[in-house]
Amino acid sequence: MAVKSAIVNVMEGAARKAARGLVRDFGEVEQLQVSRKGPADFVSAADLRAEEVLKRELSRARPDYALLLEESGGAEGADARRRWIVDPLDGTTNFLHGLPHFAISIAFEEDGELAAGIIYEPLRDELFWAEKGRGAWLNDRRIRVSGRTDLAASLFATGIPFKGLPNHDRFLQTLGAVMPLVAGVRRYGSAALDLAYVAAGRYDGFWEFGLNPWDVAAGVLLVRESGGFVTEIGGRAYRLGAPHILAANPTLHAAFDKILRTAARES
């Protein structure tokens, strides 16, 4: 049985507390008060409540750590070496439309490096978690990226830029290049879960443009610790805030990157 560190236990405890409110609000989704955050990008009362719970619980456990949160931004801490990176509700649009596919994502960064992360999907009670150098896990089961070697038998995930965001043409170019060569492409609306599913071998790879650090921080560590590769399109090592991301198992990564790189160049 996997033994979680104190840091992972802190993240899990905070996520489970925040998840209670999300599950309750999801059952009453039509009653949620929704404000407009940007074109086709919504923030709900449930989102804000979840973030407040996470902020409170994480700060209570480690009061000196800095915070980077999706809704309320950054908060400096007395300990400049350590930071939580938090997405209280990844898949907000799914949530607001009653689609049961969303998650809480929390990463722990130390000295600029991702050291631990969790992605919690409350409706299925699936906790994906990883620690640097200690592997990746789904609840108490060790997970690894898929072993597929044939693009034609592989399943990939992506995110489609919505209204108000750039890269529509570039995305369509890459999608058009990928579709004829693979078994399928999925767009489920949560980058955090897309990366968790790559780590668990459910997807063979994932790519997207324009993601924020809180969207991917925990998922990047999960993929790396499950044996996968995470880079920018073009092969450069991925750093939080990069303009695009590509994650895949090690046997498919190079071929997949070549397809995307060529397509993006032609767009």
Per DSSP, helices labelled H in the chain are 6-26, 45-61, 92-96, 168-178, 191-199, 213-225, 253-266
pLDDT at 87: 97
pLDDT digits (tens, 9 = 90+) for 19-32: 999 999 898 876 66
Helix (H, G, I), strand (E, B) or coil at 221: helix
pLDDT at 40: 47
User: What are the residue ranges in the chain where pLDDT is below 50?
Assistant: 39-40
Contacts of 14 (CB under 8 A, 6+ apart): 53, 54, 57, 58, 61, 106
CATH code: domain 151-266 is 3.40.190.80
For residue 53, give the amino acid letter: V
pLDDT at 43: 66
Helix (H, G, I), strand (E, B) or coil at 31: helix
CA distance 58 to 239: 24
Would 6-143 and 151-266 be classified into the same CATH topology?
Answer: no
Considering the entire predicted model, what is its pTM? 0.94
Is the Cβ–Cβ distance between 244 and 215 less than 8 Å?
no
Specify which residues 106 forms β-bridges with.
Answer: 86, 118
CATH code: domain 6-143 is 3.30.540.10
Helix (H, G, I), strand (E, B) or coil at 122: coil
pLDDT at 30: 66
What residue segments make up the domains of the chain, in order of their start? 6-143, 151-266
